[in-house]
Structure 1
Amino acid sequence: MEDISFDLARTALVMIDLQHSTVERALAPYSGEQVVGNCVLLAQQMRNRGSLVVYVHVLVNDMLARPADAPLRPPGTPAPPPEASQLVPEAGVEATDIVIAKRQWGAFYGTALDQLLRRRQVRTIIMAGIATNYGVESTAREAFDRGYELVFAEDAMSSMHADAHNFACQNLFRAMGRVRSTAHLIKTLQAGTGEA
């Protein structure tokens, strides 16, 4: 696997939807607990090196709903409780982190994320979160279109179906950036080389 390098001062960890409505779902190939645990490890390593840590959560009751063959929330389903949109306490948000609220799958449209990243001269985004083929993929596509370099923490994300996660990681994400394990990224960060 070819090594890459990135400038940690211009790198941000962006974690998608580590909130009750996603973490508590049945996920594959990694459980919500595993994803959150790996995200916390990455976040601490990034903070220790002065890199930006961003938590994104979706306001589930504000999401636009349009007719669909397989809606995520079928018509007639009761609205989720307010805590569904809240980040789980285990996600470990710290005072120096940025928290972004969104109202759709992707984290860029209608939010200040792009402006916040550009003002900090971020060039590389490490992507993680739930679900791989919804919020993570949508945000990654938006980031790619805006010219950011992307690194995907494969086992710090998961989906409702393992095949959907695997397809995104093996096909889409490798075309947009680099896919690495949490352990690989942490080892690189601890080595202080910025190479992954």
Structure 2
Amino acid sequence: MTPTYIRKRKRPRGSGLWPAYLLDTDAFGTWFYTPTRSLFRADDGEFCEMAQLGPGGPGEHCVQLAPHDGWWFAYFRQSGLLHVDVSTTPALVGAEWTFDDLELDPFRQPDGTIGTEDWEELAESHAAGLISDAERDAAEDAARGLERDFAAGVEPFGQVGWERLAAAVALGLPPLTEFGDRPLD
């Protein structure tokens, strides 16, 4: 399998980039897999492991989902953490999947705790003119909708994402650590 690349952009500048295996596209969107020990590169050239369990690593197996038209990008992590970046709709731009982070981070922890982090960051970015009124409203709606879907077990957040993760891990694919000539930002 040839890897693709995913770029998460921050406003007003900055990004992170990681390689991922393209798994499939289905009714939910496009699925990617990043094996444990795969690298994430920040826009300053620093590296860390993708899907870290804590600062400094280690990373863990992670399946990601770019929805067809949702304002989010989801991460299903082997530890059982479901984390979502509320964002502009992910899109394939050239040879990279790209989205702009809109600050909010809904989650469901392995113990079932559901919440959303970074409401203050959204308010600050909106006040600074980095996020428009329409984007702020869409981000808030997405976060609240995702929390409801997590609580109700609406797919792909019920079993589908976790089944995708188990199947991806079973492939035994090597970690992704090469970035080729991809620019920092």
**Normalized against structure 2, the TM-score is what?**
0.32
More strand by share: 2
Q: Which has the higher contact order (CA 8 A, sep 6+)?
A: 1
Q: TM-score, normalised by structure 1?
A: 0.31
